[in-house]
Chain A
Amino acid sequence: MEEFMGYERPKGGIGIRNKIAIISSVVCVNHVVEQISRKVENSVAITHPLGCGQFGPDFSYTLRTLVGLGKNPNVFGTVVVGLGCENITSKLIGKQIKRSKKPIEYFDVQDVQGGTNAAIQKGITLGQKMAEEAKELKREPFDFSNLILGLECGGSDSISGITANPAVGIVSDKVVELGGTSILPEFTEWVGTEHLLMERAKSDKIAEKIKETIDTFLNNTMKIGIDFRGIQPTPGNIEGGLTTIEEKSLGTIAKAGTAQIEGILEYSEKPKGKGLWLMIEPGLDVESMTGLAAAGAQIIVMTTGRGSPCGNPVAPVIKICGNPKTCDWMASNIDIDASTIITEDKKVEDVAINLWEKVKKTCNGEKTYAEILGFEDIAIWRSTAAPFSIFHETLR
């Protein structure tokens, strides 16, 4: 049986990293969080421009995402820092993370006498204590049913869909076969293939939800005068060999292999069971990977044609690329070279074997290039931009 060496968490979930997360509840304390993180071993600063004056879906997206990042099994313990007057408070985040039974501390800068200097010191003391405890925990063997894999693509070219993406699809199927979980985000790139995704849905109800998701999106974009279908594939795509919207989207969803679709998740929502899941997320790489990590993905595979360096503070990101020039010019950013399908007599299956080996090594602790280079990017999806978009000069 194939296994990996991971860290067991109190309420289940197996980490492949053992990090201390220092999280800002609000933009105003990002500097405090960064200063704390610098002095705490094996910690990551999770900062963002949000947390204050958020309402409706934005409020719940930000809250669920920050809680999810703290709950991610790769995190040993979390220190949440707030300011004290925002609506997404450190207490709100901290109390929800606490349900995971992992070490958690939270406080607001306005409650610490001595201003931000004292708050930074307080955070460092709490974080360092947690980091010492984290060192006591040792890796143990676990099977891959404990793994949640995130499927991402960014900076795609016409080669991605015939090289790297299908190789990722084979690995996704492998994880699902081993009893694990896989998540495909970026629903804007399913458009044109929803009838094919529906055929793979576990039930009629889930098939209907897939259709409803895409229809709602297309109808809403039409209301502001955009027919999303009409702009795909783009002239550049056509020049690269893509002919129809379904051909383009099939290249994207190739990352999700052939497994049955268990359901659709909201942004940053944890899967309700094993197997392949779809996630509603609009296709921006960093927002997407933040949502995957917040949903509990311990590892993300990202295909890139033109070369994207992005990473995530909580989940290691493996880069796989099918473009020979990008693999050469950006070698220090690419973990798996899928261009051997073009330059040598390699098959997609051969590349998938290399990728699977890298996934296993990464689970066992080997760093990815994004980790080595320190790419720890966070962006949280905002959806209530819509009420404000009416003020834009082009829509008045």
Chain B
Amino acid sequence: MPNKFIIMHKGDNCATSLEEIEQGDLLKFKDDSITIKQKIPLGHKFALNKIKKGEKIIKYGQIIGIATEDIAIGDWIHTQNITSHYLEEVAQ
């Protein structure tokens, strides 16, 4: 069975899809399952946990950005709900 998604680091709160995942798909994660809320294209991300507006989004065990709105489990994480932490804060 091919992997549908990959989690880069154990502390990550998002996963990256390895194939196009359809809205409503049920994915096994740990002992639980995640319902995918929107279509996730290949290479795109979805949330593994609830992420509140202003909270950090973690991939590779590192901060890749800040949530610009509340994100639910299974939500597509893309430019509509994440912004650069580096450009907003670090590089100022």
Contact = CB atoms under 8 A, between A and B. Distances in A.
Contact of B43 (A162, A246, A344, A348): A162
Interface bin, chain A: 20 to 34
Interface in A243-267: 243-247, 250-251, 254
A246 B86 contact: yes
Interface centre among A192, A254, A343, A344 (most CB of B within 10 A): A192
Given A159-B43, A246-B62, A246-B65, A195 B8 contact: no
A12 interface: no
Contact of A162 (B6, B41, B84, B86): B6
A345 B77 contact: no
Given A229-B91, A244-B85, A341 B44 contact: no
A241 B45 CA distance: 7
Contacts, number: 84
Contacts of B41: 241
A364 interface: no
A53 to B, nearest CB: 39
Given A241-B16, A246-B63, A250-B59, A192 B44 contact: no
Contacts of B82: 243-244
Contact of B77 (A243, A254, A344): A243
User: Of A162, A194, A250, A346, which is in contact with the most chain B CB atoms at under 10 Å from its CB?
Assistant: A162
- For the residues of A in contact with B, the DSSP-based class is helix
Nearest to A239: B41
B43 A250 contact: no
B78 interface: yes
Given A159-B43, A243-B82, A254-B60, A345 B65 contact: no
A280 to B, nearest CB: 20
A158 to B, nearest CB: 4
A372 interface: no
A345 B43 contact: no
Contact of A241 (B3, B44, B86, B87): B44
A250 B60 contact: yes
Interface in A164-185: 166
A192 B19 contact: no
A163 B65 CA distance: 21
A344 B86 CA distance: 35
A193 to B, nearest CB: 8
A244 B84 contact: yes
Contacts of A344: 2
A341 B78 contact: no
A385 B60 CA distance: 37
A125 B49 CA distance: 70
A250 B63 CA distance: 9
Interface in B28-87: 41-45, 59-60, 62-65, 77-79, 82-87
A245 B86 contact: yes
Contacts of B43: 158-159, 162, 240-242
Given A238-B79, A250-B64, A342-B18, A245 B84 contact: yes
A346 B83 CA distance: 31
Contacts of B17: 241
Given A162-B6, A250-B60, A243 B87 contact: no
Contact of B64 (A163, A229, A243, A343): A243
B62 A196 contact: yes
Interface of A: 158-159, 162-163, 166, 192-196, 229, 238, 240-247, 250-251, 254, 341-346, 348
Given A243-B82, A244-B64, A348-B6, 20 more contacts: A162-B6, A192-B86, A196-B62, A241-B43, A243-B65, A243-B79, A244-B65, A244-B83, A244-B84, A244-B87, A245-B84, A246-B64, A246-B85, A247-B59, A247-B64, A250-B62, A251-B60, A342-B3, A345-B1, A346-B3
**4 A-B pairs closest in CB distance:** A241-B43, A241-B44, A247-B64, A244-B84
